[in-house]
C-alpha cells in the first residue's frame, strides 16, 4: 500500500475470514446442470520450499489430489452442482470447464475462487492424466451431449516443476541463455512459458520460464522424473522448488500409495 505496488487496488483494505487447510484446484466439465469431475490438482503458489516466500503465479503443480468419497461428494453436491444450477436459474447455463479453487478446512471445503478455464500450471499436469478421449469429451460438450464418463478415465500421476528466473516474482532477469533442454526432454514433457529465441539461441524471456512435467504410475515416480529432468536444465539464476508434490506423495503413501481415479 505504501509503494502503491497494485495501483488504486491498494487504497482499500478488505478483511475476510482466514481459511486454514490445504488448497486444492478442482475442475469439472459442466453442461447446464450436469457436472463431470476431472482430476483435482494442487498448485504451489509460494516461491520457496515449505510454502515460504512471496506469492507467485504458481511454482508447480501435482495431480491427482486424492479426494476421498465423502469429500468428493460434498464438493460436487455442495459446490459444483449448486453453482451449475444457479447459472441455469439465472438464464445463463454454462458449458465448459469450471475451476473451483477450494480450501479444505476442518469445517469442509470452502470456495476461494471460480474460474471458467483450466488453471496454470494445473492444466499442464491434469490434461496428461486423462485418457485420449478428452478431445471427444470436449466435442461432445460443445454439442450439448452429456459427457460420457468412460472418456474421463484417469491414470497415473503427474508433477510439474516451474523453472523460474533469478529475482522472480519481484523482478525477473531475462535474456539469459538456456541449456540442457534436449537432455531433459527425454524423460519429461517441457512447457515453455517465458522463453524467447534471440538470434537462434533460446533465452529466458520472463519470470516463469519453463515447466518440466514428469509422469508415472505414482506421484513418487512422477516426482522423480520431473526432478531428474529439472536437474538437466541450466540457466544462470535458475530457481525452482524442491518440494512440488511432496505433501501429496506423503498423503498417497499414507493411503497405501493407491492413486484414486478422480472421476465421477
- Candidates 37, 64, 60; CA nearest to 47 is 60
The residue within the footprint of ligand GLY, chosen from 115, 150, 253, 257 (CB under 6 A), is 115
Measured between its terminal Cα atoms, the distance across the chain in Å is 44
Q: Nearest distance from residue 154's CB to ligand GLY, in Å? A: 19
Binding mask 23-62 for ligand GLY (x = CB under 6 A): --------------------x--------------x----
Measured from the CB atom, the residue of 31 and 122 that comes closer to ligand GLY is: 122
Q: Nearest distance from residue 144's CB to ligand GLY, in Å? A: 27
How far is residue 12's CA from residue 15's CA, in Å, rounded to a whole number?
10
C-alpha cell read off for 212: 518440466
* Exposure string over 221-236, b if 16+ CB within 10 A, otherwise e: bbbbbbbbbbebbebe
- Candidates 159, 249, 162; CA nearest to 213 is 159
The residue within the footprint of ligand GLY, chosen from 39, 66, 119, 207 (CB under 6 A), is 119
Residue 134 has a CB neighbour count (10 Å cut-off) of: 15
The residue within the footprint of ligand GLY, chosen from 120, 153, 173, 243 (CB under 6 A), is 120
C-alpha cell read off for 36: 463431470
Size of the site for ligand GLY (CB under 6 A): 6
Query: Of 31-39, 113-121, 212-220, 222-230, which part binds ligand GLY (CB under 6 A)?
Result: 113-121
122 is a contact residue toward ligand GLY (CB under 6 A): yes
List contacts with ligand GLY (CB under 6 A).
43, 58, 115, 119-120, 122
Amino acid at each position: 500500500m505504501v509503494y502503491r505496488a497494485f495501483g488504486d487496488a491498494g487504497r482499500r483494505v478488505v478483511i475476510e475470514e482466514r481459511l486454514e487447510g490445504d488448497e486444492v484446484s478442482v475442475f469439472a466439465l459442466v453442461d447446464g446442470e450436469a457436472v463431470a469431475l476431472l482430476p483435482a490438482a494442487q498448485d504451489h503458489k509460494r516461491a520457496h520450499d515449505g510454502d515460504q516466500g512471496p506469492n507467485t503465479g504458481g511454482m508447480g503443480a501435482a495431480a491427482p489430489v486424492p479426494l476421498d468419497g465423502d469429500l468428493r461428494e460434498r464438493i460436487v453436491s455442495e459446490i459444483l452442482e449448486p453453482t451449475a444450477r444457479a447459472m441455469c436459474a439465472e438464464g445463463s447455463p454454462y458449458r465448459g470447464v469450471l475451476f473451483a479453487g477450494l480450501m479444505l478446512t476442518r469445517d469442509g471445503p470452502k470456495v476461494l475462487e471460480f474460474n471458467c478455464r483450466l488453471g496454470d500450471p494445473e492444466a499442464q499436469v491434469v490434461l496428461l492424466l486423462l485418457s485420449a478421449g478428452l478431445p471427444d469429451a470436449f466435442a461432445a460438450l460443445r454439442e450439448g451431449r452429456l459427457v460420457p464418463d468412460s472418456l474421463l478415465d484417469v491414470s497415473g500421476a503427474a508433477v510439474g516443476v516451474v523453472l523460474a528466473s533469478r529475482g522472480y516474482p519481484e523482478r525477473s532477469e531475462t535474456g539469459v541463455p538456456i541449456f540442457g533442454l534436449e537432455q531433459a526432454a527425454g524423460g519429461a514433457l517441457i512447457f515453455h512459458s517465458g522463453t524467447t529465441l534471440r538470434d537462434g539461441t533460446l533465452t529466458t524471456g520472463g519470470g516463469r520460464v519453463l515447466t518440466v512435467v514428469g509422469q508415472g504410475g505414482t506421484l513418487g515416480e512422477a516426482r522423480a522424473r520431473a526432478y531428474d529432468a529439472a536437474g538437466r536444465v541450466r540457466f544462470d539464476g535458475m530457481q525452482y522448488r524442491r518440494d512440488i508434490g511432496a505433501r501429496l506423495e506423503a498423503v498417497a503413501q499414507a493411503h497405501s500409495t493407491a492413486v484414486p481415479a478422480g472421476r465421477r
